[in-house]
Amino acid sequence: MESGGASEQQRKKSKGRRRNRIFFVVDEKRLDTGGNGIYFVFTLNLKPMFADAGDDDDWATMRALPPPIAPFDSLERCAERLDFALVGSNVVAVSTQKRTLLYDTAAAVVSNGPELRHATIGGTALILLGTRLYAMDNRPCEPDPCFQVLLPPATPVAGSGGRRRRHWSWRALPDPPADFSMVRPAPAMIFCNTTAFVAAGARIWVSAPDRGTYSFDTTAHGNAMAWRKVGDWELPWVRRAVFVPELNLCFAMCRTRYCLCAFDVPSAEPAAAAPVTRYAWVEETYPRECLERGYFPHGPASLAYLGDGRLCIGWTIIVEFGEQYGYSNMPTRFALLLMAVQVVAVAGEEGQLRLVKHKARCYLMSNRAQEIFLLQPSLRLVELDGGVVVLGPEDAEQVLTPEQRVYCPRPPRPREEVGSPATVIIASPALLAAARVAARWRGGEEEVGGGALAWSPPWG
């Protein structure tokens, strides 16, 4: 058990912890292999971009990218696409040809991972939840399977005799209903196209045009593992949204305005309303300065949340035009525009947020590079009032901090307390869900009965 003073010190330490380094992927085309792609992983320290001190440098000054830390080659003479995610300290690349590649950032080694259970169509929507990576086909097509999960090597569980899962492994999961992926007659979109997704708490939400939005409970077992349609509406953002538990909001790039927005967490109930847009920072986050210099955004931006309200927005911008493939005025050179912003509370207005614009920087990409993707880091910080389990008497409470952040909405005030004076376990629905997810991620055991939680914590 920790003392009250130590517990308070841990509160302050965990609340202030954040990341300064981002990872991103640059997609290049190799003409010597028939136009096959090669993907380079880069990393940058963003601490100077969030520094309070002024910077006289012009944001549009083209800087050189640092050397890449890892290359990922696609298969030669084969239509292969790689999609990327950051799982802990590992960059994971998922191929449309059933390959998995792993780059350990600590060991600086690229290795082959397990083969996917089935090939993906049109690329992969990678949805990170804790240390599990869920993969949905970009273009699911009935009756082909389209949903699976990558499980990391497991940590030994106390009392298990040291048994554990020693390697990364893929596991097939139930697919969405046929209504989601089936071929539709005109004027509806004929083929399903996964356009937006998010993970929050124990649930995953996925959207597609003319299909609506479906939700999947990752804590369910057996026959209860099923998708549920929550509405005919689409999630109002582009591709991945980032759930920020301390604000209980989802941050993403707006599907129509191409700016940073904050949305309510989607509901898991059938026939629910679409998430409400709470904030839309059009002037602050759409790169209008690029247009004034003759640069143009190339598609929607990608987003990474770094903790403490700080976000990084990555734009691929066109900086040169010329002749290509026999056509004139074609984009021939691209650059990376990074924007550092921070969401802070408005003084004197409870529950209100404002956006602080920090610095922006441009990095010129090679003449073969075409697109960049920011990877969302795994945050190792915990808000103690947002889902951490506290056990023990008041004079010697024990704070159980997970190794990986438990992404769950801020729980309501405790409705019930059960247990002896020496051990108090808060029976909150959100906390129960978070505990189930954490137990499954780390191999712990749980038992839920009578609305209370009797749980063997899966971390030390």
Give the model confidence (pLDDT) of 392-403 as tens digits: 223 333 333 333
Residue 289: pLDDT above 70? yes
pLDDT of residue 252: 94
| pLDDT digit string, tens, across residues 343-371 | 998 877 777 889 999 999 999 988 888 88
Residue 427: pLDDT above 60? no
In the structure, what pLDDT confidence band is assigned to residue 74 with cuts at 50, 70 and 90?
A: confident
In the structure, what pLDDT confidence band is assigned to residue 263 with cuts at 50, 70 and 90?
A: very high
- Rounded CA-CA distance 236/255 in Å is 6
Asked if residue 403 lies in contact with residue 459, where contact means CB atoms within 8 angstroms, the answer is yes
The rounded mean pLDDT for the chain is 74
Asked if residue 210 lies in contact with residue 181, where contact means CB atoms within 8 angstroms, the answer is no
In the structure, what pLDDT confidence band is assigned to residue 237 with cuts at 50, 70 and 90?
A: very high
Higher-confidence residue of 459 and 178: namely 178
Of 328, 351, 263, 336, which is closest to residue 301 (Cα–Cα)?
Answer: 336
- Rounded CA-CA distance 417/426 in Å is 5
Determine which of 49-58, 192-201, 325-334, 373-382 has the lowest per-residue pLDDT on average: 49-58
Residue 247: pLDDT above 50? yes
| pLDDT digit string, tens, across residues 377-392 | 876 433 344 444 333 2
CATH code of the region 18-375 = 2.120.10
Q: What is the mean pLDDT of residues 125-133?
A: 89
pLDDT of residue 253: 92
List where CATH 2.120.10 sits in the chain.
18-375
Residue 375: pLDDT above 90? yes
Return contacts of 390-397, CB within 8 angstroms, 24+ apart: 390/424, 390/426, 391/423, 391/424, 391/425, 392/1, 392/422, 392/423, 392/424, 393/421, 393/422, 393/424, 394/4, 395/4, 396/1, 396/2, 396/3, 396/4, 397/1, 397/2, 397/4, 397/7
Single-letter residue type at 228: R
Q: What is the mean pLDDT of residues 272-292?
A: 87
Higher-confidence residue of 441 and 379: namely 379
pLDDT of residue 30: 64
In the structure, what pLDDT confidence band is assigned to residue 92 with cuts at 50, 70 and 90?
A: very high
High-pLDDT (> 70) share of the chain, %: 70
